[in-house]
């Protein structure tokens, strides 16, 4: 693995981790998904032609790979040995009521995102990663009008859920 | 809406994240490359068995056996082309627009179901080929009766062991792809 690829993966690992969390609630499977996504991104980086921003390109690869995982997961759901661990990773932060409310809001937001249809999930999470309407439209194969409509509806629902926490 | 948007973005960015294991990633990548090379080698080998048999054993094969090897080659070539046609969607990359990719993935699953069903049906076709070979050998008096009986026994044993396994494996794959397609359609 060249140093460039390693540096790129390190730079974008938080983004990839957030993509994984939007598709997978179980912590162990989420880490597996993150590995799969990282491998897909690494394989795809050699083909990057610069016709979009690197972030947009990486998000497209990451979401496409995550969709494979979601379909494949039906195997785990049917398995008796499967057990879901959804508690967040242990935090080193000093616990305070604010942090607890914030943690619950984050969990509620993640849960709400995972309830969305795949397309809406992709649009909303890309928006929260800072992509413009045009960039989201290009990545998802939609018009900017569609993107706006999806975001208005979905963000309103998510905001209501989050505000009901704490 | 803008306040909501900012709040959601702020929460989104604050979630705890983890990093990929780069050492494991390098190991997986090496293993993927080795597997790809092995699949390619096995495809080349599978395709070259027939021509190699003809090349090495041509002088010791009867015209009937040569004819049968050639027919089998044509059937397997046809089957391979059919499988490559069914697999066409898997050659397209992960870098498609996400909306297109979803449709591509669903098409891939539908084709995988057909591939698995074709593998299942081959469990019926293979014994027919064996029986035709033996019957032709008997009818055209190519083999002595004793040798024919021996060949029949070996082919029957090989079929009894391998064909049910092939059928069960292909049936499980078809069912798995049907479930994965259903799950994907549910989520879209």
Residue of A nearest to B24 (CA): A35
Contact yes or no for A71 and B181 at CB 8 A: yes
First-to-last alpha carbon distance for chain B, in angstroms, is: 26
Q: Are A36 and A73 a contacting pair, CB within 8 Å?
A: no
Q: Which is more confidently placed, A161 or B99?
A: A161
Asked if B178 and B111 touch (Cβ cutoff 8 Å), the reply is no
Contacts of B10 in chain A (CB under 8 A): none
Confidence of residue A84 (pLDDT cuts 50, 70, 90): very low
* Chain B residues touching residue A55 (CB < 8 angstroms): none
Distance, CA of B12 to CA of B6 (rounded, Å): 10
Phi–psi pair at B26, nearest 5 degrees? -65, -40
Report the C-alpha gap between B145 and B82 in whole angstroms. 37
A159 touches chain B (CB under 8 A): yes
Q: Rounded distance, CA A128 to CA A155, Å?
A: 10
- The overall pTM is greater than 0.80: no
Share of chain A above pLDDT 70, in %: 82
Q: Are A6 and B22 in contact (CB under 8 A)?
A: yes
Convert the pLDDT of each residue in A122-157 to its tens digit: 999 999 999 999 999 999 999 999 999 999 999 999
Pair of tokens at residue B57:
């054993």
Instruction: Report the residue from B8, B13, B96 with minimal CB separation from A64.
Output: B96
CA A113 – CA B149 distance, rounded (Å): 66
Query: What secondary structure, in 3-state letters, does chain B show?
Result: CHHHHHHHHHHHHHCCCCCCCHHHHHHHHHHHHHHHHHHHHHHHHHHHHHHHHHHHHHHHCCHHHHHHHHHHHHHHHHHHHHHHHHCHHHHCCCCCCHHHHHHHHHHHHHHHHHHHHHHHHHHHHHHHHHHHHHHHHHHCCCCCHHHHHHHHHHHHHHHHHHHHHHHHHHHHHHHHHHHHHHHHHHHC
Residues of B in contact with A155 (CB under 8 A): 1, 4-5, 8
- Choose the mutation target among B3, B7, B11 for the interface with A, i.e. most A CBs under 10 Å: B11
Q: Walk along chain B (188 residues) and give the pLDDT tens digit of each residue.
A: 577 788 899 999 999 999 999 888 888 888 888 887 887 787 777 777 778 878 888 888 888 888 888 888 888 888 888 877 877 766 656 677 888 888 888 888 898 899 899 889 888 888 888 888 888 888 888 778 888 888 888 888 988 999 999 999 999 999 998 988 888 888 77
d(CA A31, CA A13): 12
Are A74 and A29 spatial neighbours (Cβ–Cβ below 8 Å)?
no
Closest Cα of chain A to B38: distance in Å?
19
Is residue B90 within 8 A of residue B108, CB to CB? The reply is yes
DSSP for A82-145 reads -----SPPPP-SPP-HHHHHHHHHHHHHHHHHHHS-HHHHHHHHHHHTT--HHHHHHHHT--HH
Residue B171, phi-psi category: left (phi > 0), alpha (psi -120 to 50), beta (remainder): alpha
Check whether A89 has a pLDDT greater than 70: no
Residue keyed to tokens 């995982």: A69
| Residues of A with Cβ-Cβ distance to B188 under 8 angstroms | 117-119
* ipTM score for this prediction: 0.85
Contact B95 A57 (CB under 8 A): yes
Tokens 């090379």 map to which residue? B37
Q: Which of A109, A130, A138 sits opposite B8 (nearest CB)?
A: A109
Distance from the Cα of A44 to chain B's closest Cα (Å) equals: 7
Q: Which of A3-17, A84-98, B30-44, B56-70 shows the lowest mean pLDDT across its residues? A: A84-98
The answer to whether residue A76 neighbours chain B at the CB level (below 8 Å) is: no
């Amino acid at each position: 693995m060249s140093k460039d690829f390693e540096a790129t993966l390190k730079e974008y690992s938080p983004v990839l981790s957030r993509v994984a969390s939007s598709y997978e609630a179980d912590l162990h499977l989420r880490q597996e998904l993150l590995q799969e996504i990282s491998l897909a991104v690494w394989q795809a980086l050699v083909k990057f032609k610069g016709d979009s921003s690197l972030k947009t390109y990486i998000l497209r690869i990451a979401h496409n790979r995550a969709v494979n995982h979601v379909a494949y997961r039906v195997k785990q759901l049917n398995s008796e040995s499967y057990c879901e661990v959804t508690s967040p990773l242990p935090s080193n932060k000093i616990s305070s009521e604010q942090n607890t409310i914030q943690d619950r809001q984050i969990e509620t937001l993640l849960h709400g995102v995972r309830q969305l249809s795949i397309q809406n999930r992709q649009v909303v999470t890309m928006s929260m990663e800072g992509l413009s309407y045009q960039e989201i439209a290009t990545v998802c194969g939609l018009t900017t009008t569609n993107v706006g409509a999806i975001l208005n509806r979905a963000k309103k629902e998510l905001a209501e859920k989050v505000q009901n926490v704490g | 809406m803008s306040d909501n948007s900012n709040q959601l973005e702020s929460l989104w960015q604050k979630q705890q994240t983890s990093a990929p294991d780069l050492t494991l990633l390098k190991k997986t990548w090496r293993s993927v490359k080795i597997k790809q090379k092995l699949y390619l080698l096995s495809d080349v080998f599978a395709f070259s068995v027939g021509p190699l048999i003809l090349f090495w054993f041509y002088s010791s094969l009867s015209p009937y056996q040569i004819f049968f090897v050639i027919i089998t080659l044509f059937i397997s070539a046809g089957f391979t082309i059919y499988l490559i046609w069914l697999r066409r969607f898997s050659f397209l990359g992960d870098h498609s627009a996400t909306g297109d990719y979803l449709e591509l993935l669903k098409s891939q699953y539908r084709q995988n179901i057909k591939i698995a069903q074709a593998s299942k049906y081959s469990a019926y076709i293979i014994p027919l080929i064996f029986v035709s070979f033996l019957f032709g050998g008997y009818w055209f008096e190519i083999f002595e009766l004793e040798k024919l009986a021996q060949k029949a026994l070996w082919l029957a044993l090989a079929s009894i062991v391998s064909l049910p396994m092939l059928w069960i494996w292909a049936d499980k794959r078809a069912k798995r792809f049907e479930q994965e397609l259903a799950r994907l359609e549910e989520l879209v």
